[in-house]
């Protein structure tokens, strides 16, 4: 598409936040996409809730911070409160769309309820549900029940939007979309990406015993399972980044880290990333580990099976299986230097060939360029 055509294509990008969080896949994903669209020359406007974290530097595109709905005392007690908030916020988004009259609306998360329920929708609509975790087993009955209210609004968005984004070409996420009634021809595959990091020091040295966990301390990340499994392994060390807790012996909790260079240093110093989640999309931390040539131990959830190949890029294990997790960490420590070097090289190759920033950029621009050439009326 020509620069002039892109400059004449109005895109409204709706997200719950895009500040460059060091840990936080959705926000990092949104920020990269917005920067890609701005650099490509589209007439871009973004929308965030007014309570979202603000970026630390001026933006090269206009952003509308719309008020998030206020809750009544009774509303705060309802299990449907967040889903109802999303619907109410979507009314303000639809009003903004009326003023901007975009050709394309891209919603990262279910923020288009009011617009999608209109009889006439002039703009092409793209819905990105990210990891679809609300349709996965999150590790406990309590967490699964809490996710139920979101299932309806996410499924409704996925069925009504012109296109729904899937992070992987195959596997669990594609099966979820089929199960909730999304036609295959209305699915667009847009994987995550991660910048390449320095992997030079992973040349096959022996004594591999340093494990790394990067993420928030929330139930679906299965941190208690990891700590319990790790307690049965002698001679290993575990770093927890993004977590504050009373750590047992040989475990160091580093808390939240906002310095991107420092997080990269953890990837460089570790021998293996451990991602034992009960539910996931396409974890940014796994891609970041690959970009550093760091092998990964991960559960077979979300798009992990599209990334972690057992014995090739790490070890893929069943979810919520402490014994399998402990065994995988022991197997990892016993890898011969040559085998470790080969796995590390495979990780780096996948990051470069399939999940690079350039590949993500090309996929996104190809999708939007194609839509902007299609006239939609009525």
What does the pLDDT read at residue 57? 74
Rg of the chain on CA atoms, in Å? 21
Residues 7 and 61 in one domain: yes
What does the pLDDT read at residue 336? 93
What does the pLDDT read at residue 346? 96
What does the pLDDT read at residue 260? 79
Domain, as residue range, for 271: 210-353
Q: If we measure between CA atoms, which residue out of 102, 94, 42 comes closest to residue 66?
A: 94
- Reading the chain (378 residues) residue by residue, the pLDDT tens digits are 899 999 999 999 999 887 655 455 677 788 889 999 999 999 999 999 987 766 767 889 999 999 998 876 655 667 788 899 999 999 999 999 999 999 999 999 999 999 999 999 999 999 999 889 999 998 888 888 988 999 999 999 999 999 999 999 888 999 999 999 999 999 999 998 877 665 445 544 456 899 999 998 889 999 999 999 999 899 999 999 999 888 888 999 999 887 878 888 999 999 999 999 999 999 989 999 999 999 999 999 999 999 999 999 999 999 999 999 999 999 999 999 999 999 999 999 999 999 988 999 999 999 999 987 776 754
Query: Is residue 198 assigned to a domain?
Result: no
Residues 236 and 186 in one domain: no
What does the pLDDT read at residue 107? 97
User: Could you give the CA distance from residue 345 to residue 327 in angstroms, rounded to a whole number?
Assistant: 23
Query: Is residue 203 assigned to a domain?
Result: no
| Dihedral Cα 274, 277, 279, 280, nearest 10 deg | -30
CATH of the domain at 144: 3.40.50.2000
Residues 99 and 134 in one domain: yes
Query: Is residue 378 assigned to a domain?
Result: no
Identify the burial level of 146 via C-beta atoms within 10 angstroms of its C-beta, where 0-12 means exposed, 13-18 middle and 19 or more buried. Answer: middle
CB-CB contact of 92 with 72 (8 Å): no
Answer whether 0.75 is exceeded by the pTM. Answer: yes
Residues 180 and 236 in one domain: no
Residues 182 and 240 in one domain: no
User: Could you give the CA distance from residue 313 to residue 293 in angstroms, rounded to a whole number?
Assistant: 9
Query: Is residue 263 assigned to a domain?
Result: yes
**CB neighbours of residue 249 within 10 Å:** 6
What does the pLDDT read at residue 12? 98
What does the pLDDT read at residue 77? 63
Residues 54 and 189 in one domain: yes
Length of the chain, in residues: 378
Query: Is residue 377 assigned to a domain?
Result: no
Residues 129 and 28 in one domain: yes
Residues 340 and 366 in one domain: no
Residues 183 and 215 in one domain: no
Runs of H (alpha helix) within 45-171: 81-100, 113-116, 141-160
What does the pLDDT read at residue 58? 82
Residues 223 and 344 in one domain: yes
Query: Is residue 199 assigned to a domain?
Result: no
CB-CB contact of 274 with 211 (8 Å): yes
């Amino acid at each position: 598409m020509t620069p002039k055509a892109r400059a004449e294509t109005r895109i409204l990008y709706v997200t719950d936040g895009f500040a460059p969080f060091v840990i936080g896949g959705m926000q990092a994903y949104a920020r990269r996409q917005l920067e890609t669209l701005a650099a490509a020359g589209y007439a871009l406007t973004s929308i965030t809730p007014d309570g979202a974290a603000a970026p630390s530097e001026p933006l090269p595109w206009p952003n509308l911070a719309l008020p998030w709905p206020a809750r009544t005392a009774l509303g705060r007690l309802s299990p449907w409160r967040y889903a109802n908030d999303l619907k109410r916020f979507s009314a303000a988004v639809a009003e903004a769309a009326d003023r901007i009259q975009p050709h394309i609306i891209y919603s990262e998360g279910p923020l288009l309820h009011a617009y999608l329920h209109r009889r006439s929708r002039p703009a092409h609509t793209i819905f990105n549900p990210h990891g679809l975790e609300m349709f996965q087993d999150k590790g406990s009955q309590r967490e699964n029940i809490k996710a139920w209210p979101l299932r309806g609004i996410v499924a409704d968005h996925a069925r009504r939007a012109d296109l729904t984004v899937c992070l992987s070409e195959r596997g669990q996420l594609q099966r979820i979309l089929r199960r909730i009634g999304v036609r295959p021809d209305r699915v667009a595959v847009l994987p995550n990406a991660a910048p390449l990091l320095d992997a030079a020091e992973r040349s096959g040295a022996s004594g591999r015993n340093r494990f790394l966990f990067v993420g928030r301390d929330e139930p679906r990340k299965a941190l208690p399972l990891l700590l319990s499994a790790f307690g049965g392994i002698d001679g290993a060390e575990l770093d927890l980044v993004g977590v504050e807790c009373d750590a047992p012996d040989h475990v160091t909790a580093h808390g939240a880290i906002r310095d991107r260079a420092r997080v990269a240093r953890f990837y460089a110093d570790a021998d293996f990333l451990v991602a034992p989640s009960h539910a996931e999309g396409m974890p940014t931390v796994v891609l970041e580990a690959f970009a550093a040539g760091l092998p990964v131990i991960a559960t077979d959830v979300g798009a992990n099976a599209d990334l972690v190949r057992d014995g090739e890029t790490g070890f893929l294990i069943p979810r919520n299986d402490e014994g399998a997790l402990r065994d995988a960490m022991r197997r990892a420590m016993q890898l011969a230097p040559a085998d470790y070097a080969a796995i590390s090289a495979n990780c780096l190759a996948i990051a470069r060939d399939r999940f690079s920033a350039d590949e993500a950029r090309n996929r996104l621009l190809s999708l939007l360029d194609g839509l902007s050439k299609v006239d939609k009326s009525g």
